[in-house]
Amino acid sequence: MIRRSVVRVSSRLVYLPALLFTVMLAPAWAVLPAADQFPAEPGMLATVTVRTTLPDGTRRVEGSVPRYNTYRVEADCGRGTVAMYRREENGQWDQRYAARRRADGWERTTIEGPAARIPAGSNLDWLASAQHDAVCRPNTGLAAPRDVQG
């Protein structure tokens, strides 16, 4: 009976080094820098593959969400504009939205009609802010949606 108890305890002690090793590594995983990413759509982060600055000063970031889509975000940091494109299956870039910053938020810009205000606190409001910040200030990290005044 005692021998059986000793065998049972010793067989479970085999897992102790693995548990201790995992506990020691957990803090290291918590402080490792995240891959350079930007918000592609609400709830999805794209890993940056290319960062460029165009001759007119517009900054462009391209990246992809694994097994999903490839995205491009262009932002003019001085004028406060942002546009997002998604690569279609035929290889063409499809513009998903374009917006410009106004004093009290964002307004959507369109080719065919007048600009429309983006409702504060909406997914598109958060996405435009997050993408603009990711392109213009890439080292700030990704935070939760900002507090919107109004």
Average pLDDT over residues 18-39: 53
Q: In percent, how much of the chain has pLDDT > 90?
A: 15
Average pLDDT over residues 20-30: 46
Q: Is the pLDDT reported for residue 140 higher than 90? A: no
33 falls in which pLDDT band (50, 70, 90)?
A: very low
Q: Write down the pLDDT at residue 82.
A: 92
The answer to whether the CB of 96 falls within 8 A of the CB of 108 is no
d(CA 65, CA 31): 23
pLDDT digits (tens, 9 = 90+) for 125-139: 889 988 888 888 766
Domain ranges of the chain: 2-31, 37-140
Tokens linked to 80:
């406060």
pLDDT digits (tens, 9 = 90+) for 42-80: 788 888 888 888 888 889 999 998 878 899 999 998 889
Task: Give the sheet arrangement for strand 105-108, strand by strand.
Answer: 37-41, 44-53, 59-64, 70-76, 81-87, 93-102, 105-108, 116-117
6 falls in which pLDDT band (50, 70, 90)?
A: low
Q: Write down the pLDDT at residue 75.
A: 92
pTM above 0.95, yes or no: no
